[in-house]
Structure 1
């Protein structure tokens, strides 16, 4: 089938893919998160389906910019099943998202990719990304 918008019915397979990215135990919160993504016009959650099985996912956020021309598109989660890597699926998904970003007046795509994900770094460099080394994060207290 290829690339399509995610559905709530995909939650179990999405959770399994997130587990491969070292995000365990997402099955408890994934349904609520997927529903939230599907309702937000600035969020896109896509999956790649093959033989009725979700084997990849990407979440893309469109971020309007105030002081510069063009907006940003940010990849927050991108996973291709361990057994399906190396077959061009990630490239197809990233290129599809690039097209979506251009249609949304974005002039930049960005992704934060942990330093331990060496193979992912190689993938992003092949796709035309450049490294931008500063990234700051501030943890906030949970509100739940």
Structure 2
């Protein structure tokens, strides 16, 4: 199992994973997004490979806080291939992101998970997350 920074060559595999998560995109969109994020220090897109095949993806952002000494991290997208669950890929990706957040001296990691993703909720609880409701969204 190999976790590494996502590269442009991974765009097709990431697109398939994002479609499994419920985010269909047009051809070329993922390449453009990966290019636009490649030099940012407040954002990381990571993939997990198993036997050379990208089977997991996670996107994490590091958010500075003016009212607190420590920043926090937000996982915005996190998916493991439907046919590759329970192989430790999600655990490895989450733990890698936790290590990055600790390295950056973050005090918490937040993740939003749709109410219908009950399997994901159980995973997050196993990984030490606690439910922290309530989110509000304003769509623009």
| Map of 1:4 onto structure 2 | 4
Secondary structure at 1:102's aligned position in 2? helix
Number of aligned residues: 140
Residue 26 of structure 1: how far off its partner (Å) = 4.4
Residue 45 of structure 1: how far off its partner (Å) = 0.4
| Map of 1:51 onto structure 2 | 51
| Map of 1:64 onto structure 2 | 64
Provide the C-alpha distance between the structure 2 equivalents of 1:53 and 1:27, rounded to a whole number of angstroms.
Answer: 20
Residue 134 of structure 1: how far off its partner (Å) = 0.7
Structure 2: 5+ residue stretches without partners: none
1:126 and 2:126 correspond: yes
**TM-score using structure 1 length:** 0.93
Residue 63 of structure 1: how far off its partner (Å) = 0.3
Q: Give the 4+ runs in structure 1 shifted more than 3 A.
A: none
Q: Is the 8 A contact 1:19 1:26 kept in 2?
A: no
**TM-score using structure 2 length:** 0.96
Provide the C-alpha distance between the structure 1 equivalents of 2:115 and 2:97, rounded to a whole number of angstroms.
Answer: 23
Secondary structure at 1:39's aligned position in 2? coil
Secondary structure at 2:27's aligned position in 1? helix
- Give RMSD over aligned pairs: 1.0
1:66-85 equivalent positions in 2, closer than 5 A: 66-85=66-85
Q: Is the 8 A contact 1:18 1:26 kept in 2?
A: no
Provide the C-alpha distance between the structure 2 equivalents of 1:29 and 1:139, rounded to a whole number of angstroms.
Answer: 21
Structure 1: 5+ residue stretches without partners: none
Q: Is the 8 A contact 1:47 1:58 kept in 2?
A: yes
Secondary structure at 1:19's aligned position in 2? helix
Change (3 A) 1:104 1:94: same
Provide the C-alpha distance between the structure 2 equivalents of 1:60 and 1:123, rounded to a whole number of angstroms.
Answer: 17
